């Protein structure tokens, strides 16, 4: 059984996990010249592929956003389509996402190279019950083009439409029995059979998405995209979080946690933090640092906050935690209100944290890492005054928690769960999400 471990170290211990030499991330999708595609061509000589990602009320937001984000990093032209009557969908765990278009409006004239379905319940059922999507998916299969699904959707949607007959497929464990009636069910984290790719749940979605990049653009592009994600070296295996100067993180009942978001925030990081902490029953307040509740994240996913920061700042928090993304981190650093909240949090010896660009661009310049061990996005670590712990995937130093990037966001979030709720709760969540096998 894979376990989440917290190592308690002295300030003089310097455990290292792995060192990643990564290129600096970009905050907008890459563009590629329009030339004909061949299986061996790299994405730099390939026209952008058209991808449809349908979303519904009850969609699992981690699965949707990770798939969209990773595919857009590859240069794919991803259309996020609502199967509901409105663009805004109420995804699981209180996450609101605004789609790019309604499903009926974006499928009339576009031929998609890939259709990828996120899971979640009742999201998968809502996708299955969408007649327009069913028609488009069946045509996709008839024409020999790629289609994919994760979590409940392989069994609930693709299987119900008869699109997995004679194929090996996988899905979320509790839907495996249903899958056996419409496919050859296997327990792989990601399964490809012909033009179809299926996967198991939130914890396998990044692997799933990188596989889709390889399907569309080849291995070289998949490696190029996966590097800056800071993915786990061995998916599903035991992992550790590095802790020094351990202190108890205290709260009354369920912790109240502030997660600010802004234009340019990294949507995968934001959604994983929000989703996982709400699964643990934390009271998570998502606050927009801009003038609108809707923010346009780094890969153009439209997320909707619960309130503006001005309103959120009136409350007190057991933890303030910042997602990354270059534009978002810059917006955080420029917000006097947010910086003051963080400083008061630190002065009160209450927990605060950040991931990716935010430790380097927000915490460091405002003196919030003074005397602390921390990590950050690899290309940003040279901005940290103390770089002795930068190669660790998640670092907890007293009331501070920091981490590296999208691929460490689940470990980062589980580390927060463990500090507030205990090791057992974190392990239970890790298993439910398929983070560990």
Residue 393: closest CA among 12, 11, 15: 15
Residue 358: closest CA among 397, 308, 385, 322: 322
Q: Are strands 394-397 and 400-403 parallel, antiparallel or unpaired?
A: antiparallel
Say whether pLDDT at 181 is over 90: yes
Predicted pLDDT at 57: 98
Say whether pLDDT at 14 is over 70: no
Say whether pLDDT at 28 is over 60: no
pLDDT band at 109 (very low <50, low <70, confident <90, very high): confident
Say whether pLDDT at 13 is over 80: no
Fold of 242-433: Rossmann fold (3.40.50)
Q: Is 7 exposed, middle or buried (0-12, 13-18, 19+ CB in 10 A)?
A: middle
Predicted pLDDT at 7: 42
pLDDT digits (tens, 9 = 90+) for 329-384: 999 999 999 999 999 999 999 999 999 999 999 999 999 999 999 999 999 999 99
Say whether pLDDT at 228 is over 50: yes
Say whether pLDDT at 41 is over 70: no
Active site residue 356: yes
Q: Which residue has the higher pLDDT, 28 or 335?
A: 335
Range(s) of the chain covered by CATH 3.40.50.880: 50-229, 242-433
3-state SS, 244-286, equals ECCCCCCCCCCCEEEEEECCCCCHHHHHHHHHHHHHCCCEEEE
Say whether pLDDT at 237 is over 70: yes
Predicted pLDDT at 385: 97
Residue 319: closest CA among 406, 424, 427, 419: 419
Q: Which residue has the higher pLDDT, 41 or 5?
A: 5
pLDDT digits (tens, 9 = 90+) for 254-292: 999 999 999 999 999 999 999 999 999 999 999 999 999
As a whole number, mean pLDDT of residues 86-95 equals 98
As a whole number, mean pLDDT of residues 408-425 equals 96
Bridge partners (DSSP) of residue 283 are 256
As a whole number, mean pLDDT of residues 44-59 equals 87
Predicted pLDDT at 88: 98
Return the C-alpha torsion angle 158, 162, 168, 169, nearest 10: 20
CB-based contact 74:221 (threshold 8 Å): yes
Predicted pLDDT at 235: 84
Helices and strands per DSSP (H, E), number in the chain: 15, 22
pLDDT band at 238 (very low <50, low <70, confident <90, very high): low
- The class (CATH top level) of 50-229 is alpha beta
SS3 assignment, position 149: strand
As a whole number, mean pLDDT of residues 51-74 equals 98
Say whether pLDDT at 33 is over 80: no
Say whether pLDDT at 10 is over 80: no
CB-based contact 427:1 (threshold 8 Å): no
As a whole number, mean pLDDT of residues 224-249 equals 90
Q: Which residue has the higher pLDDT, 216 or 37?
A: 216
pLDDT digits (tens, 9 = 90+) for 282-331: 999 999 999 999 999 999 999 999 999 999 999 999 999 999 999 999 99
Q: Which of 130, 171, 182, 356 is labelled catalytic?
A: 356
Predicted pLDDT at 24: 38
- CA 6, CA 214: separation in Å to the nearest integer? 34
């Amino acid at each position: 059984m894979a376990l989440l471990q917290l190592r308690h170290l002295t300030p003089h211990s310097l455990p290292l996990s792995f060192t990643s030499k990564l290129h600096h991330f970009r905050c907008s999708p890459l563009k590629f010249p329009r030339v004909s595609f061949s299986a061996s061509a790299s994405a730099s000589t390939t026209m952008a592929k058209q991808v449809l990602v349908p979303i519904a009320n009850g969609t699992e937001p981690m699965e949707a956003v990770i798939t969209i984000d990773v595919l857009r990093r590859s240069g794919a032209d991803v259309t996020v389509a609502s199967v509901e009557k409105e663009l805004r969908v109420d995804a699981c765990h209180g996450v609101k996402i605004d789609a790019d278009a309604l499903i009926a409006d974006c499928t009339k004239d576009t031929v998609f190279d890939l259709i990828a379905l996120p899971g979640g319940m009742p999201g998968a059922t809502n996708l299955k019950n969408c007649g327009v999507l069913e028609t488009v998916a069946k045509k996709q299969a008839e024409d020999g083009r790629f289609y994919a699904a994760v979590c409940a959707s392989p069994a609930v949607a693709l299987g119900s439409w008869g699109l997995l007959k004679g194929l090996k497929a996988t899905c979320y464990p509790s839907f495996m029995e249903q899958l056996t009636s419409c496919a050859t069910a296997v327990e792989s984290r990601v399964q490809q059979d012909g033009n179809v790719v299926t996967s198991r749940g939130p914890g396998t979605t990044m692997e799933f998405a990188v596989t889709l990049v390889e399907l569309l653009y080849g291995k070289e592009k998949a490696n190029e995209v996966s590097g800056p994600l800071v993915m786990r070296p061995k998916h599903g295996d035991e992992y550790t979080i590095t802790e020094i100067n351990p202190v108890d993180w205290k709260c009354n009942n369920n912790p109240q946690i502030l997660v600010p978001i802004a234009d340019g925030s990294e949507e995968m990081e934001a959604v994983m933090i929000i989703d996982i902490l709400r699964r643990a029953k934390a009271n998570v307040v998502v606050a927009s640092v801009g003038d609108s509740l809707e923010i346009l994240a780094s890969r153009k996913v439209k997320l909707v906050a619960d309130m503006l920061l001005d309103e959120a700042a009136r409350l007190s928090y057991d933890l303030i935690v910042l997602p990354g993304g270059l534009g978002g981190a810059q917006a955080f650093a420029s917000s006097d209100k947010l910086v003051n909240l963080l400083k008061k949090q630190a002065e009160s010896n209450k927990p605060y944290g950040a991931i990716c660009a935010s430790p380097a661009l927000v915490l460091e310049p405002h003196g919030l890492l003074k005397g602390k061990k921390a990590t950050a996005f690899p290309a940003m670590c040279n901005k940290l005054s103390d770089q002795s712990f930068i190669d660790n995937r998640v670092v907890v130093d007293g009331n501070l928690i920091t981490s590296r990037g999208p691929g460490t966001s689940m470990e980062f979030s589980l580390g927060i769960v463990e500090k507030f709720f205990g090791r057992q709760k974190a392990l239970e969540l890790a298993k439910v999400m398929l983070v560990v096998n």
